[in-house]
Amino acid sequence: MTRTTITLPDDLSTALDREAHRRRRSRSEIVREALRAHLRLDTGGRRELPFAAVGSSGGGPGAAELEEYLEEHWADEIMEDSFGGRDR
């Protein structure tokens, strides 16, 4: 087993302490369980990779076309938001 040090915000550390106390388990056990669940290692199934097909030749737009689309449709909005030209 590997020892790893992480830094948690106070609210998350407090929640972790409460959960460990409630379940009568160590903080490490709770964190390991949460990581296994988050990484879907506990299901034995395949992890979903949402961007795995990006760039495949499935007939969809390629990176160049997507860049052009974003530049064409979002450039003005991005500039306005960046420089305070528009309230949200």
Neighbours of 1 (CB within 10 A): 5
- What pTM was computed for the model? 0.50
What is the structure's pLDDT at 34?
A: 92
Q: Which residue has the tokens 């790893």?
A: 4
Q: What is the pLDDT of residue 72?
A: 76
Which residue stretches of the chain have pLDDT < 70? 43-61, 75-88
pLDDT of residue 77: 63
Answer yes or no: are the C-beta atoms of 30 and 20 closer than 8 Å.
yes
Whole-number average pLDDT of the chain:
78
| pLDDT for the residue numbered 88 | 45
**Token couple for 88:** 């949200």
